[in-house]
Amino acid sequence: MKKLFLIIGAPGSGKTTDASLIAEKHPEQLVHYSTGDMLRAEVKSGSELGKEIESYISRGALVPLNIIVDTIVSAINHAPVPNVLIDGYPRSVEQMEAFDTIVADEKEIDLTAVIEVRVSEAVARERILGRAAEAAPGEGRSDDNEAVFNDRMTIYTEPLEAIQNFYTDKGLLHVIDGERTLEEVVADMDTFVLSKIQ
Ligand code: AMP
């Protein structure tokens, strides 16, 4: 049985950095996967699937449901340790409902909590556009620019309330204030996750 934590947050919320630092602290207990990183790895491989994925990522659009569901289910099944953090899922009501069906059928996955790293749009914008300005030429992400940021933010915000309500009703939603220092956010998330697995 694997305990699963889903981590959601706006672009620039810091969710990927937070989760990877926590997993690094407890390598025997926790592993972390970021949906964005897994998709970008497929793009980098140069496969046909990667080319299809890049056509969505570069526009800030969501990749199709079957691609993202296969990506996360395969990550969970191959996880080498019993507790898994996945950030960047769900990002739509459709994804949430699809995963609910999978969790109901799949006795090996225990959805333990959904953590929302909450930041205002202004903070998210400042962080993402700052990240774009700091990237070396050719090294930045194809989706870190203002026009694509706006689309990513809209896509994040539109289903958010439905996602929050769904997991609140199940007693699974845990909100973390992401506007503090990285150390504070990580310490908070770390304490919460450990309280659920020990
Ligand atoms: P991120 O690194 O989390 O900002 O994600 C970068 C991009 O990867 C997103 O803008 C989407 O194009 C794609 N992506 C990441 N997670 C998902 C998801 N759950 N569903 C669909 N597309 C996703």
pLDDT tops 90 at residue 131: no
pLDDT value at position 140? 87
d(CA 37, CA 34): 5
pLDDT value at position 38? 96
pLDDT tops 90 at residue 139: no
pLDDT, one tens digit per residue, over 53-103 is 999 999 989 999 999 999 999 999 999 999 999 999 999 999 999 999 999
The whole-number average pLDDT for the span 8-18 is 96
Averaged confidence pLDDT in the chain: 95
Q: Ligand 1 pocket test: pick from 63, 86, 89, 128 the residue with the most ligand atoms within 8 Å of its Cβ.
A: 63
Residue that wins the pLDDT comparison between 173 and 134: 173
DSSP of the chain, one letter per residue? Answer: -EEEEEEEE-TTS-HHHHHHHHHHH-TTTEEEEEHHHHHHHHHHTT-HHHHHHHHHHTTTPPPPHHHHHHHHHHHHHH-SSSEEEEES---SHHHHHHHHHHHHH-TTEEEEEEEEEE--HHHHHHHHHHHHHHSPTTTS-TT-SHHHHHHHHHHHHTTHHHHHHHHHHTT-EEEEETTS-HHHHHHHHHHHHHHHH-
pLDDT tops 90 at residue 14: yes
Q: What is the pTM of this model?
A: 0.94
pLDDT, one tens digit per residue, over 41-53 is 999 999 999 999 9
Cβ < 6 Å from ligand 1: which residues? 11, 35-36, 39, 56-57, 60-63, 68, 88-89, 91, 95, 143, 152
Q: Ligand 1 pocket test: pick from 62, 70, 114 the residue with the most ligand atoms within 8 Å of its Cβ.
A: 62
The residue nearest atom 19 of ligand 1, judged by CA position, is 89
The residue nearest atom 20 of ligand 1, judged by CA position, is 62
pLDDT tops 90 at residue 106: no
d(CA 158, CA 96): 14
